[in-house]
Amino acid sequence: MDGNGLQFGYIESGIAGITVTLLGDFNGDDDYVVLAVTSTDADGKYLFDDLPDGDYRVVVDTEDPDIPVG
**d(Cα 30, Cα 54) in Å, to the nearest integer?**
11
User: CA 26, 31, 35, 37 torsion: positive or negative?
Assistant: positive
Query: Does residue 10 contact residue 43 with C-beta atoms inside 8 Å?
Result: no
> Does residue 8 carry a pLDDT above 90?
no
**How does pLDDT run across 10-61, given as a tens digit for each residue?**
677 788 999 999 999 877 788 889 999 999 999 889 999 999 888 899 999 8
- pLDDT score at 1: 63
Query: Does residue 55 contact residue 33 with C-beta atoms inside 8 Å?
Result: no
- pLDDT score at 41: 94
pTM > 0.95: no
**d(Cα 17, Cα 20) in Å, to the nearest integer?**
9
Helix (H, G, I), strand (E, B) or coil at 23: strand
